[in-house]
Amino acid sequence: GEDVEQSLFLSVREGDSSVINCTYTDSSSTYLYWYKQEPGAGLQLLTYIFSNMDMKQDQRLTVLLNKKDKHLSLRIADTQTGDSAIYFCAVLITSGTYKYIFGTGTRLKVLA
């Protein structure tokens, strides 16, 4: 079955780079997404990458996709305390009906 996995926690110091990793099992994933959830709020779409791309950069965010290893990562440059949140990886599978599969989320803690 489809599965999306992430590590549960990550701590970094303010100003350092953060790298949040995600692995998935279904090779028919077409779009891959990163969402951010701040305390008491819903999920906010941060960025996404289409499966025929290797990399996408958007200001401080860099998304890397290794399709062969089914590995997705989100790098946040110059991490700030405001980046502390839970980050969810999600994949869109389009074989048959459309299906979104979310990971468990990675809680990022930025230390001042």
Partner 1 sequence: ETGVTQTPRHLVMGMTNKKSLKCEQHLGHNAMYWYKQSAKKPLELMFVYSLEERVENNSVPSRFSPECPNSSHLFLHLHTLQPEDSALYLCASSRGSGNEQFFGPGTRLTVL
Instruction: Kindly provide the b/e burial profile for residues 48-64, where b requires at least 16 CB atoms within 10 angstroms of the residue's own CB.
Output: bbebeeeeeeeeeebbb
Q: Which stretch binds partner 1 (CB under 8 A): 16-24, 60-68, 74-82, 91-99?
A: 91-99
Per rule CB under 8 A, is residue 63 in the interface with partner 1? no
Among 23, 22, 32, 11, smallest CA distance to 79 is for 11
Q: Which stretch binds partner 1 (CB under 8 A): 13-21, 30-38, 54-62, 76-84?
A: 30-38
Least distance in angstroms from the C-beta of 112 to partner 1: 26
Six-digit token pair at 111?
């230390």
Binding positions for partner 1, rule: CB under 8 A: 4, 8, 31, 33, 35, 40-45, 48, 88, 92, 94, 97-98, 100-105
